[in-house]
Structure 1
Amino acid sequence: MSIGVDIVRGQAIQMIGNSAHINRLNIMTDSRKPVEKGLFVPLVGDHFNGHQFLNQAIEHGAVAAIWMEREPVPEDLPEDFPLFFVRDSLSALQSMAKSYLNQICPKIIAVTGSNGKTTTKDMLYGILHQSFKTYKTQGNYNNHLGVPITVLSMPQDTEVLVVEMGMNHFGELTSLSQMVKPDIAIITNIGESHIEYLGSREGIAKAKLEIVNGLKKRGTLILDGDEPLLSNIQTYAFQIVRCGFGNQNNWRITDVVESVSGSQFSLNKQEEHYHVPVLGRHNVKNAVLSVTAARILGMDMERIREGLEQLKLTKLRFEKVSGIHGSVLINDCYNASPTSMKASLETLKTLPGFNRRVAVLGDMYELGSNEEDLHKSVADVLNAPLTHLVTIGSKGAWIADGIREKGDDQKIEVRSFATKNEAEPYLASLLNDQTVMLFKASRLLELEKLSSKFVVK
């Protein structure tokens, strides 16, 4: 993406240097990464100040910079290097994003939810790019900094922009939604992620619903219609479309058939079948949320099916890989909450063709004062045909405690380990051509480093 200097000047208090040589610039916030014709935006945090790295930014391609007026100008700054003075560099970045959106005017889909944001974003892109010039959030750039960077990275010919929006406090989604003003907003589900900051699942639902605070008039909210906390929304300002398995949904998922290669399903009992090469009923719902958005934008069902068939998801989201000794490994290591962990376990139980189903589960974070009970609640779905439970970490051990308290540990072999290294020999002994092994925990635990030990090289 390149951005016109006129957008920058619109946010400037004053300017020094000569900008006559500047035509269009590429946003850079990281002084370490080379950028051609970069506009350096130095950000300030609790433990860093990007203004200190202007010379490094110049070495890596910056030809101009935003500059907060309270920061001293380096004495060795080249005389012809332009600085655009602003009160706050983050606010300037966000304002530039708004201005750029007004220039390009794409259709905007904003995606939030406790789980499944990235998967749904990837599904939307996989479908929509069949018919539209589509750009999506890269990586996990989904916060107050990442969203404007996403917008400013969008090519000028973008027709549809898919923006992932994360949050962990009240007010954050309001700010993000009002920044981009989506045409379509999607809430994938309500789980327990960030309950430490939001107090309860009711609080999480309230915070997620902030995504409508920037939704365009006559826009559309697409949501998980099976979630009771999202069932009583009353509005005349925008359309609501509910997707899920229950009869109350506008798009009801039926006839789900799962296999190691993915899931087949129908909608509203229609004869047409859809196939998505992703495991899990929860991912079927994510696919339907995406299909609904594509239909609203006018895509025909044949192109939508083609997009679903060719999906490529971000790694570590229920990613199936070949393990040693003919085993199958499922990497779902990117993050975890009790809700997403239970959903992954339910999928593990449905996969046909395996005599040994092993769940490798670890610590979950940001669950607040009730974290022990929330870990133990995972035991509600730890039953046959699962054969083995292996927990990693001190919090993960609570999951094992939960199954023992239920008395189900006689039906499932349960082992707990403090570290990944301690668990490795035992897990290796379980792998053969009749084994499917799921790895899931919060990101901090980095369970993919353990699962990688068993991948066919």
Structure 2
Amino acid sequence: MKSINYAKLAEIINAEVSEISNLKFQISNVCIDSRKVTQGSAFFAIKGENHDGHDHLKQAFENGAACAVCRLGFNSNGIPSDKPILFVDDTIQALGRLAKYVRRNSSYKVVAITGSAGKTSTKNMVSHVLKSKFKCYSSPKSFNNNIGVPLTVFDALDDTEILVSELGSNHPGEIEYLTNIIEPDIAIVTSVFAAHLEGFCSLDVIKGEKSSIAKGLKPGGRLFITDTLFDYCTDKKIKFEPFCKPQNVKIGGFESSFEIEGVTVQLPLPGRANVENALAAWTVCKNLGISASQFAAAIATVKPADMRMECLQIGSAKVLCDCYNANPGSMANALETLSLISQQEKKRAVFIFGRMGELGSQSESLHSQLGNTIAIHKIPVVLTIKGDAAIAAQTAHNTADYDISVNVFENLTQLCDNMYKFVKPDDIILIKASRSERYEAVVERLKGLFIG
């Protein structure tokens, strides 16, 4: 980001200024972690679930912070009087106001991506391809909330030509807030599933939330959406365009292919969902001047995002690590891919899973539907733990018309301790759960079993 003087910063974030004499110095970067502060940083003190940045002001200044942004009423006793502090009603809102200013005063184009699933994978594909032609920046992680999106803006270098950001949400209003910060030139909605129902209550509310990304579009900006949103956006008179359509789609377990404008694209990622993500990525890239042949050449080397249908070879076992997110739609996609790989490889499929989080009052019925999906794909070995996930396991057991081994454990530790009894070295193993369930522990235990 370009340097901003202290007085301008105070104006942008509507801050009250501490009593110091020098208001002429510059801030050159923004930081929320006192350990990572460098010379010229504006340190925003943010209160989180486990830590409060206000407790670390002294360290931030010792590390070179040019100033700190704190909440009104914060007692700055103990901080040297020559250290400038700006006081605001809400430091997270102030972070957003500064990000909006930085974005508006930057020359790069912005691609914003939201959806119930596929945000990070699509973001990675888009940025991977665009980097072959442009100076493109995207956050290295899932920085998709009211802190992560501003940090993405701040971290973009001054010569960035295209910034790619994902926007996430678990309650109404978040996407509209974020899109108004980042003001995209191109907005994408990858998918719409029943997800975060504790905050949204219904699929229709989710559709409204995802489509609200259009509210922040720059003049002349374009919205591209998944076909499951067509009717909603048409009814609400939201202007949109569809994703580009492929030809000769061939869905594979570990890789797939399709044609665009007569060019064959080899996608080295598993399953149908990644093909859909790739088509969203192609739609963006085409509209930013990437040719079909350029897209095909670049996407052929894309890597999976961590813990998102990540294919791991553990000994002789093939493991699909998909532990970052879980909702009914992504579960169905993952199970279809597991079944497809099992058939292609002629090896046994094993499904180790945890609950889908934030489904509210519909959690029981949606986990029961998951059990039906397990049975439809004839998964022979199922391992999970007590709670909502056990509902899925029991439904699979009750509806399966084939031999199925269903195993429900007291907790994740017990599952890991007993896993050796049920998995074999040459299995195809899908591990999937909501991030809060910490099922990456299963991957580590498998490494111990099959590698030693």
Normalising by structure 1, we get a TM-score of 0.89
SS at match of 2:441: helix
SS at match of 2:105: helix
> Is it true that 1:377 corresponds to 2:369 in the alignment?
yes
Partner of residue 402, structure 1: 395
- Unpaired runs of 5+ in structure 2? none
Q: How does 1:125-144 map to 2 (within 5 A)?
A: 125-144=127-146
Partner of residue 352, structure 2: 360
Q: Is the 8 A contact 2:61 2:83 kept in 1?
A: no
Aligned counterparts of 2:416 and 2:296: Cα–Cα separation in 1: 40
Q: 2:439 aligns with which of 433, 441, 447?
A: 447
Aligned counterparts of 1:329 and 1:234: Cα–Cα separation in 2: 41
One-letter amino acid of the counterpart of residue 356, structure 1 = R
Q: Is the 8 A contact 2:211 2:233 kept in 1?
A: no
Q: Is the 8 A contact 2:253 2:338 kept in 1?
A: no
Q: Is the 8 A contact 1:361 1:396 kept in 2?
A: yes
Deviations 1:175-199 (A, max 9, x none): 1111111111111111121111211
Aligned counterparts of 1:212 and 1:240: Cα–Cα separation in 2: 9
Measured after TM superposition, the shift of residue 363 of structure 1 is: 1.3
- Unpaired runs of 5+ in structure 1? 244-249
Moved more, 32-41 or 440-449: 32-41
Q: Is the 8 A contact 1:104 1:157 kept in 2?
A: no
Query: Aligned residues: percent identity?
Result: 30
SS at match of 1:92: helix
Q: Is the 8 A contact 1:391 1:399 kept in 2?
A: no
Q: Is the 8 A contact 1:64 1:83 kept in 2?
A: yes
Q: 2:410 aligns with which of 418, 426, 447?
A: 418
Measured after TM superposition, the shift of residue 170 of structure 1 is: 1.1
Aligned counterparts of 2:385 and 2:414: Cα–Cα separation in 1: 9
Partner of residue 242, structure 1: 242
Aligned counterparts of 1:236 and 1:215: Cα–Cα separation in 2: 16
Partner of residue 335, structure 2: 345
SS at match of 2:256: strand
Measured after TM superposition, the shift of residue 241 of structure 1 is: 2.6
Aligned counterparts of 1:32 and 1:439: Cα–Cα separation in 2: 34
SS at match of 1:216: coil
Aligned counterparts of 2:417 and 2:49: Cα–Cα separation in 1: 42
Q: 1:59 aligns with which of 57, 62, 85?
A: 62
Q: Is the 8 A contact 1:108 1:182 kept in 2?
A: yes
Q: How does 1:208-227 map to 2 (within 5 A)?
A: 208-225=210-227, 227=228
Q: How does 1:30-45 map to 2 (within 5 A)?
A: 30-44=33-47
Aligned counterparts of 2:386 and 2:21: Cα–Cα separation in 1: 57
One-letter amino acid of the counterpart of residue 46, structure 2 = L
One-letter amino acid of the counterpart of residue 200, structure 2 = L
One-letter amino acid of the counterpart of residue 231, structure 1 = D
Deviations 1:355-404 (A, max 9, x none): 20111121111101121110010133223553222223322111112113
SS at match of 1:105: coil
Q: Is the 8 A contact 2:222 2:241 kept in 1?
A: yes
Aligned counterparts of 2:68 and 2:363: Cα–Cα separation in 1: 45
One-letter amino acid of the counterpart of residue 415, structure 1 = N
CA 400–238 in structure 1, closer or farther in 2 if over 3 Å, else same: closer
Partner of residue 289, structure 2: 298
CA 433–385 in structure 1, closer or farther in 2 if over 3 Å, else same: farther
Q: 1:186 aligns with which of 181, 185, 188?
A: 188
Partner of residue 170, structure 1: 172
Partner of residue 438, structure 1: 430
Q: 2:263 aligns with which of 232, 257, 272?
A: 272
Normalising by structure 2, we get a TM-score of 0.90
> Is it true that 1:17 corresponds to 2:20 in the alignment?
yes
Q: Is the 8 A contact 1:186 1:222 kept in 2?
A: yes
Q: Is the 8 A contact 2:46 2:54 kept in 1?
A: yes
Measured after TM superposition, the shift of residue 208 of structure 1 is: 1.0
Aligned counterparts of 2:312 and 2:51: Cα–Cα separation in 1: 39
One-letter amino acid of the counterpart of residue 310, structure 1 = T
Equivalenced residue count is: 443
> Is it true that 1:312 corresponds to 2:313 in the alignment?
no
What RMSD over aligned residues (CA atoms) do the two structures have, in Å? 2.5
One-letter amino acid of the counterpart of residue 445, structure 1 = E
Moved more, 292-301 or 47-56: 47-56
One-letter amino acid of the counterpart of residue 29, structure 1 = I
SS at match of 2:225: strand
Q: Is the 8 A contact 1:2 1:153 kept in 2?
A: no
Aligned counterparts of 1:435 and 1:378: Cα–Cα separation in 2: 21
CA 202–361 in structure 1, closer or farther in 2 if over 3 Å, else same: same
CA 406–65 in structure 1, closer or farther in 2 if over 3 Å, else same: same
Partner of residue 284, structure 1: 275
Measured after TM superposition, the shift of residue 309 of structure 1 is: 1.3
SS at match of 1:251: coil
Q: 2:124 aligns with which of 122, 125, 133?
A: 122
Moved more, 387-396 or 28-37: 28-37
One-letter amino acid of the counterpart of residue 281, structure 2 = S
